[in-house]
Structure 1
Amino acid sequence: MRHPLTFFLLLLFLSPAVQRATWAQTDTLELELEEIIALAQSDAPDVLLAQTRMKNRYWSYQSALADFKPAITFGGDLPDLNRSIDIITQPNGTDIFLQRAQMRNRLGLSLTQRIVQTGGTIFASSGIQRLDIFREDADDIVSYYSTPISIGLVQPIFGFNNLKWSKKIEPVRYQEATRKYAEEMEQVAYNAATFFFDVYIAQLDLEAAQRDKANADTLLAISKGRYEVGRIAETELLNIELQSMRADAAVQEAVLNLQTSNEKLRNFLGIKRAVNFKMKPPTEMPDIQLEIDRVLEIALKNRSNPLVWQRRMLEADRSIAQAKANSGLQMDLFAVFSLSQTGEKLNDAYQNPLDNETFQLGFSIPIFDWGKARARLETATSNKELIRQNVEQDEVNFEQEMRLKVKQFDLLRSKAELALRAYEIAIRKEEMTRNRYMIGKNDILDLNVAVEEKESTRRSYMSALRAFWLAYYDLRRSTLYDFDREVSLVKSLDALDE
């Protein structure tokens, strides 16, 4: 299940399939968004925790399934030696102290099977016992007691059948666990995308700050020459010098932000050694058309929420059934048929076995319990109604949430496209304004406005791009479906092991 992180990084370097993720320089890893997500879903600490939880749920389910299968047991006592002085009751009813020395050996094989439909248990067994009585004044006595076959039934009547309800609930609980595991994996993908854009935007902020710093230094050098020949006033020179200082401070702040984002991503991925990330620009936005009804249908099919609602209602029905069963007549049937024989030799103990029968029917009838049984039943019934109302409200909220996510996704894609166009216009406008300023056709105020507009539109575009991709992975997380490749993201435990 767990792939060593170093092996995965080596694959990133060597494999032609992922050749784009290469070491650009020492301790710097160039990755795209999808590669960051693949790396996170391979070995991130959150993934290892999710896999461990899934394993626990799997084995809990296997333990529950074992309750429906026959159990075979082999046991015995080898030896059971008793040499002591005990109180022995005599034929005339008196008790006296006598010394005893005996050894008993016992072997037995038993088979039990629970009955789902009735909640009872049938069993079969076979066994042999040997008794050795040690005597000082005579020969030792050896005898055998065999039970070639013993068949029995333990059956509660009118009682609560927990096994029947377990057969209904446990498969639902396991399916719920597999869906939750897929949700946890997509949560990791969403978090990875968040950290990716934290680093990517910090990286672009640093590049923009360095570019602005270079422009500010160039502008300051030109302005000093203009000031010396009297073409600009001292106040304008001071403003330009102040902008250069602000640009330098912005570079330092951008470096710190990039380092912080880089460390957060490294810790999230569980990489122990120092490494720097250089994010490649996200690929083109996926061109997918979403239909609200189809998205809702997929989400209801894949998510764990419907299974949670189903399990909660089944558990409520189980509580009512248990309250009803425990409030009336209770009967227990016990029946055994067996063949047995004794003998001084082992073969004699299996000759002409005698039949033995045991039949017992016990009952318990509550006469007066001060309304306790009714109170339990009413409480269970009331809880079921409360759960039903909560489930209905959860279903409404779930549908509204999915419809809202689809609408937001379409809106964010349009917003990102418009923001990109606005950023491209602002870049062109800033270049033209800067060129006109260099030849003296614009003043410093026009240039400042153009620079601020470019920075504002750049940040708006980065924010819109980030919002779109996070909405895309949020949609995957909310539906457990990859709409780009048209595949479900719910995996079985076999796929998890691979």
Structure 2
Amino acid sequence: MNRYNYKIGVIAVLLLCPFLGRAQMELTLDKAIALAADSSLEAFRMKNLFLSGYWEYRTYQAGRLPSLTLDLTPAQYYRDITRRYDSESDLDVYRKQQSFYAGGSLEMKQNFDLFGGTFFLDSDLGYIRNFGDNTYSQFTSVPVRLGYRQSLLGYNPFKWSRKIEPLKYEKVKKEFIYNMEGVSEQVTNHFFVLAMAQAEYDLAKENVASTDTLYITGKRRHEIAAISQADLLTLRLDAVNARNTLQNAQIALQRAMFSLASFLGFEKNTEIRLRLPGKPMQVKVSVDEALVLARENNPSFLSLRQQVLEAEQVLDKTKKEAMFNASVSASIGFNQVSDKFNQVYRDLLQQDVVSVSVSIPLVDWGVRKGKKNMAQNNLNVVKISSEQGSLSLEEDVIMTVSDFNTQQSMIVSAEEALDLAQMAYAQTRQRFMIGKADINSLTLSHNRQQEAQRNYISALQNYWLSYYKIRKLTLHDFETGVSLSSEFDFKNGL
């Protein structure tokens, strides 16, 4: 082995050393996306954000159901001196007081969304014993009492919760799907960065072998004066540059591989080989259809609707609080009092309670009016911002759809260009070997082949990035025609 070939062998071993002892894995784009959705840290974070919103919505739903509460005071004892009015002497006097109390109540409540009131059904039992000169015990009971509390002209929070909370949950759910499609975008980008790095590395290795062969052939042809000294030096320079390029390509490959492995949660020394996706199926996406789906599903549109509703809620609350307030509370039931427990539920007396209260602001120096105007102005600002945000989102959808439809034709062109460049380079190389092509033609043909390879991978990358961005913006799979939100509900039994 001559010194030149020995150096080539050493360089090859050094380049391969970082890959020795690594766990090897072959990945397709679909598999990479599935792994990212299942085990990446970004996906884990998104799942926990969704669960937080999910349980918030479950709490709201539970709040609409009847609630049952048991309140107990097992023992309450106090001994103190208190002020009392003495009717005989017509004076306030201080007297000692010592007593024991125990009691409890069981209450069921149900909110009434339509009017904002609350129905309640309860039962009470209490016991008191006084000590001292007049020692006595008493029991009191309310076996059953049914009532209703209602603010007549006030703010109804239940009505607004019924509008906003389901929308918030829908937004949280679709934000999760949106973010998971964003994860697909990220892993697609990492995938094709590594694919490009692998292609560059493979091209660099091929280029080293090719330039070495051409240099050896050039030396033989130079010996018979078939090429000039300048052409031979150019071939030698190409061989040296090819080895330098190979080393740089190997470093870039390591970085890209580590980046993808880290994103997917693999061991840092995992060696990943990618299998590029084939030619994608032709999918024609209509701009109008994409806009309709985006307005319906995109969480950003839902967020804008939520902001408008919340601003309207604040305005409604402020307007109601600026008026006079009136409330009513009514209950009907039974009660009794006795010094014996076995009589406290006998001969029950009817208990009727009706209460109406009114609060009228007379002078507040314009505070309530100012708050109402602030809320109205804030609503106007939110509506304008919502319209601007909608226009911006619609523009993003339109541009993405246009780019996606264009990328499909560009892949066909890039694939055709790659086939032509490879055939042209193979023929030019063969002609150079037999002395029918010069070094400039060979170099130009080789550069065109490498550029065509890069353009093809870039076209694939742009296509799939546009594809997943459209899915993200519309939450719709245009290949199958299935809504991603409906698919999510079906998979999770929602």
Q: Report the Cα offset of residue 113 of structure 1.
A: 1.9
The answer as to 2:56 corresponding to 1:60 is yes
Contact 2:258-2:268 within 8 A present in 1 as well: no
Matched with 1:13 is: none
Distance 1:88 1:150 in 2: 34
Q: 1:270 aligns with which of 265, 268, 271?
A: 265
- Trace 1:80-159 onto structure 2 (pairs within 5 A): 80-82=76-78, 84-87=79-82, 89=84, 91-92=86-87, 93-98=91-96, 100=98, 102-133=99-130, 141-159=136-154
Amino acid at match of 1:152: G
For residues 309-365 of structure 1, the C-alpha deviation after alignment (integer angstroms, 9 at most, x for no partner) is 332222232122112111111123233444221222212111112233433332222
Moved more, 225-234 or 264-273: 225-234
Q: 1:226 aligns with which of 209, 221, 230?
A: 221
Contact 2:84-2:92 within 8 A present in 1 as well: yes
The answer as to 2:39 corresponding to 1:46 is no
Distance 1:38 1:329 in 2: 59
The answer as to 2:441 corresponding to 1:446 is yes
- Trace 1:466-485 onto structure 2 (pairs within 5 A): 466-485=461-480
Q: 1:352 aligns with which of 347, 359, 365?
A: 347
Distance 1:256 1:273 in 2: 15
Amino acid at match of 1:284: K
Amino acid at match of 1:119: G
For residues 68-107 of structure 1, the C-alpha deviation after alignment (integer angstroms, 9 at most, x for no partner) is 222110121112233x34235363444345362x432212
Moved more, 462-471 or 265-274: 265-274
Q: Report the Cα offset of residue 497 of structure 1.
A: 7.6
- Trace 1:278-297 onto structure 2 (pairs within 5 A): 278-297=273-292
Look up the SS of the partner of 1:350 in the other structure.
coil
Distance 1:87 1:407 in 2: 84
Q: Report the Cα offset of residue 475 of structure 1.
A: 1.6
Distance 2:447 2:228 in 1: 23
Matched with 2:403 is: 408
- Trace 1:315-334 onto structure 2 (pairs within 5 A): 315-334=310-329
Q: Report the Cα offset of residue 36 of structure 1.
A: 0.8
Amino acid at match of 2:47: Q
Q: Report the Cα offset of residue 180 of structure 1.
A: 1.0
Distance 1:96 1:447 in 2: 116
Matched with 2:424 is: 429
Matched with 2:26 is: 30
Q: Report the Cα offset of residue 189 of structure 1.
A: 1.0
Look up the SS of the partner of 1:124 in the other structure.
strand
Contact 2:282-2:408 within 8 A present in 1 as well: no
Aligned CA distance change for structure 1 residues 233 and 275 (closer, same or farther; 3 Å): same
Q: Report the Cα offset of residue 273 of structure 1.
A: 5.5
For residues 195-245 of structure 1, the C-alpha deviation after alignment (integer angstroms, 9 at most, x for no partner) is 111111111111111000100111112222333444433322222111111
The answer as to 2:383 corresponding to 1:385 is no
Q: 1:374 aligns with which of 349, 369, 373?
A: 369
For residues 401-432 of structure 1, the C-alpha deviation after alignment (integer angstroms, 9 at most, x for no partner) is 32322222121111111111112111111111
Aligned CA distance change for structure 1 residues 269 and 369 (closer, same or farther; 3 Å): same
Amino acid at match of 1:98: K
Matched with 1:314 is: 309
Matched with 1:10 is: none
Distance 2:340 2:83 in 1: 27
Aligned length: 470
Matched with 2:179 is: 184
Distance 1:99 1:185 in 2: 68
Q: Report the Cα offset of residue 291 of structure 1.
A: 2.4
Distance 2:81 2:331 in 1: 32
Distance 1:72 1:273 in 2: 55
Look up the SS of the partner of 1:125 in the other structure.
strand
Distance 2:405 2:162 in 1: 43
Look up the SS of the partner of 2:278 in the other structure.
coil
Look up the SS of the partner of 1:311 in the other structure.
helix
Distance 2:86 2:314 in 1: 55
Distance 2:426 2:488 in 1: 55
Matched with 1:75 is: 71
Contact 2:153-2:326 within 8 A present in 1 as well: yes
Matched with 1:15 is: none
Distance 2:183 2:66 in 1: 41
Q: Report the Cα offset of residue 58 of structure 1.
A: 0.9
Distance 2:22 2:257 in 1: 15
Matched with 1:5 is: none
Q: Which runs of 5+ in 2 are unaligned?
A: 1-20
Amino acid at match of 1:103: F
Q: Report the Cα offset of residue 376 of structure 1.
A: 2.2
Moved more, 54-63 or 346-355: 346-355
Distance 2:368 2:137 in 1: 56
Distance 2:386 2:52 in 1: 27
Aligned CA distance change for structure 1 residues 427 and 272 (closer, same or farther; 3 Å): closer
- TM-score, reference length from structure 2: 0.89
Distance 2:93 2:371 in 1: 52
Distance 1:49 1:426 in 2: 45
Matched with 2:8 is: none
Distance 1:438 1:169 in 2: 75
- Trace 1:143-222 onto structure 2 (pairs within 5 A): 143-222=138-217
Distance 2:356 2:465 in 1: 66
Amino acid at match of 1:349: V
Moved more, 362-371 or 167-176: 362-371
Matched with 1:236 is: 231
Look up the SS of the partner of 1:289 in the other structure.
coil
Moved more, 327-336 or 31-40: 327-336
Matched with 1:455 is: 450
Q: Superposition RMSD on alpha carbons, in Å?
A: 2.3
Look up the SS of the partner of 1:361 in the other structure.
strand
Amino acid at match of 1:95: V
Distance 2:264 2:366 in 1: 58
Amino acid at match of 1:118: F
Look up the SS of the partner of 1:326 in the other structure.
helix
Q: Report the Cα offset of residue 274 of structure 1.
A: 3.2
Look up the SS of the partner of 2:341 in the other structure.
coil
Distance 2:95 2:221 in 1: 126
Matched with 1:7 is: none
- TM-score, reference length from structure 1: 0.88
